[in-house]
Amino acid sequence: MLVLKIGLRLQVPGSNLLALSLWLAACSLLFNCTTQDHKQATKFEQYYVQGQVLYLTHCSNCHQKQGAGLGLLYPPLNKSDFMDTRFEEVICLIKNGRQGELFVNGKQYNKPMKGVPSLTELEIAEISTYIYNTWDHHRGIVEVKVVASALATCPD
Amino acid sequence: MKYFLVMAFGLSLFGCTIKEKPLPIFGERNVVGTDTVYHSIAHFEFVDQDSSVVTNETFKDKIYIADFFFTSCRTICPIMKTQMKRVYDTIQNKQDVLLLSHSIDPEYDTVALLHDFAERLGVESKKWHFVTGEKDSIYKIAQTSYFATAMEDKTEPDGFIHSGAFLLIDKYGRIRGKYDGTKEEDVNRLIGDIERLRSN
């Protein structure tokens, strides 16, 4: 089990995965995890890994693999007060895109972003789990039902 | 000591041979009398992000790197612009090197839009020209002068197909290198070739 976790760490480097592995290791060694916890951890890993694949397909051209964005054209995701405070809007713009000005970390961005309407709720949950648990973010899994209720709040 | 001198001499010769190997010259060549005439970039006239007219004269006695993109593209262009920004950072203080990005969606990419784009990218307009102009002229120069694909195609996700190539042009308007602007290693090769071209 420990070997498997180390392998995973090597495949996808990132401090969050390190933290996750450590957490999982601590969890299984010290607290003797229940099957339920294991299931949840596996689900998180599945969402995270799949989310990374989707991120690299749909998002990283502009927002960059390391989430740094580009100048004032594409806002960063690796450290973003917009992501921290406006979760529902982030879910909506992944699907529907967004026009007009937007402030991230005090800087103004104003390029239209096209959404990806073909994404399913599960896929949005996976992308969100990835971006919200990488770089500076430690939100935990983003469940499909959370995505569904956020999407219900999107402006037309 | 003698051996050392011999070795140093040998190394310096070796160094020279590497340095002197010139970059290839792309395209057809014709022999006119005793001269060889190489393919060179045809006459062009476009307008950049500052509304300045940009022609071959702008690049007189300059090395430049050309590419084709459009601002609303979300497939390969953002990657190309990320890579070209890397090139920009390396040539920023080199007086004899410029960049030229042509919009292949000139109806949408107006001067004002290109100005905003360049400013947001954080680059100087005298160093990196973003140009717009007659659509046909841009497509024609792409195809016939730079050997790069650029055309409208409604079946494509963003409505255009174009190559992600970066073209290295020498002081005589000749193509000296072609690189994949979406690949970091290829752009590293370009950065090295700019120096090779400057030094010979």
In whole numbers, what is the pLDDT of chain B averaged over residues?
90
User: In the numeric block, which tokens belong to residue B120?
Assistant: 């947001």
Contacts of B81 in chain A (CB under 8 A): 70, 73
Contacts of B116 in chain A (CB under 8 A): 110
Q: How far apart are CA B169 and CA B147, in angstroms?
A: 12
Q: How far apart are CA B86 and CA A151, in angstroms?
A: 38
DSSP B117-173: HHHHHT--TTTEEEEB--HHHHHHIIIIIS---EEE-TTSTTSEEE--EEEEE-TTS
**Mean pLDDT on A7-11:** 48
Percent over 70 (pLDDT), chain B? 90
Query: Could B78 and A74 be called an inter-chain contact, meaning their C-beta atoms sit closer than 8 Å?
Result: yes
Residue A7's pLDDT is what? 46
CB A93 within 8 A of CB A113: yes
Q: How far apart are CA A152 and CA B9, in angstroms?
A: 76
Q: Is the pLDDT of residue A23 over 80?
A: no
Residue of B nearest to A72 (CA): B120
CA B130, distance to chain mean position in Å, is 12
Query: Could A61 and B85 be called an inter-chain contact, meaning their C-beta atoms sit closer than 8 Å?
Result: no
Q: How confident is the model at residue A2 (pLDDT cuts 50, 70, 90)?
A: very low
Is A95 buried (19+), middle (13-18) or exposed (0-12) by CB count in 10 A? buried
Contacts of A61 in chain B (CB under 8 A): 74-76, 78-79
SS3 B96: coil
**Mean pLDDT on B115-126:** 96
Residue B103's pLDDT is what? 96
> What digits encode the pLDDT tens for the residues A99-112?
999 999 999 999 99
Question: Which amino acid is it at A77?
Answer: L
Q: Is the pLDDT of residue B31 over 80?
A: yes
**Mean pLDDT on A121-125:** 98
The residues with which B69 forms a beta bridge, in sequence order, are: B103
State whether ipTM is beyond 0.95. no
A70 Cβ under 8 Å from any chain B Cβ: yes
Q: How far apart are CA B106 and CA B118, in angstroms?
A: 15
Give the A:B interface size as CB pairs under 8 Å.
Answer: 33
* Nearest chain B CA: its distance from A112 CA (Å): 8
> What digits encode the pLDDT tens for the residues B70-83?
998 888 999 999 99
Contacts of A62 in chain B (CB under 8 A): 74, 78
Which H or E run includes A102?
Answer: strand A102-104
Which H or E run includes B21?
Answer: none
* Nearest chain A CA: its distance from B74 CA (Å): 7
A116 Cβ under 8 Å from any chain B Cβ: no
Query: Could B78 and A112 be called an inter-chain contact, meaning their C-beta atoms sit closer than 8 Å?
Result: no
CA A17, distance to chain mean position in Å, is 13
| β strands within A6-98, DSSP E | 97-98
**Mean pLDDT on B27-46:** 93
Where do we find the tokens 């717009």?
B132
DSSP B29-81: EEEETTEEEE--PPP-EEE-TTS-EEEGGGGTT-EEEEEEE-TT--SSHHHHH
